[in-house]
């Protein structure tokens, strides 16, 4: 997803709106539906302020019963991308003694900033990272899903099983009763 910046620079006080549907990243192609992204971009003088929202549906197995499950992912974002040419001055360029190449030395606060160069802003990697970080590590088909029996593997939403009911040490019966009350 690339944004042409010439039109933003010509009207710096106005935000330009975009609405696109992107295919999911390659590593999530089978689990994520097409990604709907709606955002505005505004030239700030030092860079571009991007504000918007992203939505898609994530498909995976239920963590409890292993049936197909899906989770709606919706998130808002705001990020400022700064022009690399304005912030990478010659004072920060040093020669690397080992490789004879020039490298830029960044301060700690500059490491968390996104940069761009030229007349277009590529949001592909930024949106990919947002999506990957928004995916939950575990999903369930429904909140009340009882899952599978840990002893025999029966689906507890279809039938009950008694295989896991083991005799409890009589000294611990009071603790079991207390647990049921909680």
pLDDT tens-digit profile of 2-59? Answer: 777 777 777 767 888 889 898 888 888 888 999 999 999 888 877 888 999 999 999 9
Q: Taking residues 117-127, report their average pLDDT.
A: 84
CA distance 59 to 48: 33
Q: Are 150 and 165 in contact (CB under 8 A)?
A: no
pTM (global) more than 0.85: no
pLDDT of res. 104: 62
Q: Which of 145, 172, 166, 165 is nearest to 156 (CA)?
A: 145
pLDDT digits 0-9 by tens, 132-152: 999 999 999 999 999 988 878
Note the pLDDT of residue 78. 92
- Per-chain mean pLDDT for the chain: 81
- Measured CA to CA, the distance from residue 62 to residue 110 in angstroms comes to 40
pLDDT > 90 fraction of the chain, expressed in percent and rounded: 29
pLDDT of 164 higher than 70: no
Per-residue pLDDT band for 112 (boundaries 50, 70, 90) equals low
Using pLDDT thresholds of 50, 70 and 90, give the confidence band for residue 111. Answer: low
Going by C-alpha positions, the residue among 39, 75, 26 that lies closest to residue 55 is: 75
Q: Give the Cα separation of 129 and 134 in Å (integer).
A: 9
Residue 123, strand partner residues:
none
């Amino acid at each position: 997803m690339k944004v042409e910046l010439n039109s933003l620079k010509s009207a710096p006080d106005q935000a330009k709106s975009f609405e696109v549907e992107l295919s999911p990243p390659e590593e999530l192609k089978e689990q994520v539906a097409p990604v709907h992204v709606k955002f505005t971009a505004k030239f700030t003088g030092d860079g571009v302020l991007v504000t918007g929202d992203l939505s898609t549906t994530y498909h995976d197995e239920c963590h409890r019963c292993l049936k197909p499950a899906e989770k709606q992912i919706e998130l808002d974002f705001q990020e400022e991308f700064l022009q690399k040419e304005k912030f990478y001055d010659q004072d920060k360029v040093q020669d690397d003694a080992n490789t004879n190449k020039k490298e830029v030395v960044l301060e700690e606060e500059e490491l968390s900033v996104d940069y761009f160069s030229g007349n277009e802003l590529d949001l592909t990697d930024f949106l990919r990272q947002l999506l990957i970080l928004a995916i939950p590590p575990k999903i369930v088909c429904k909140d009340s899903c009882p899952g599978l029996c840990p002893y025999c593997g029966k689906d507890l939403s279809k039938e009950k099983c008694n295989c896991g009911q083991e005799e409890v040490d009589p000294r611990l019966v009071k603790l079991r009763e207390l647990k049921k009350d909680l």
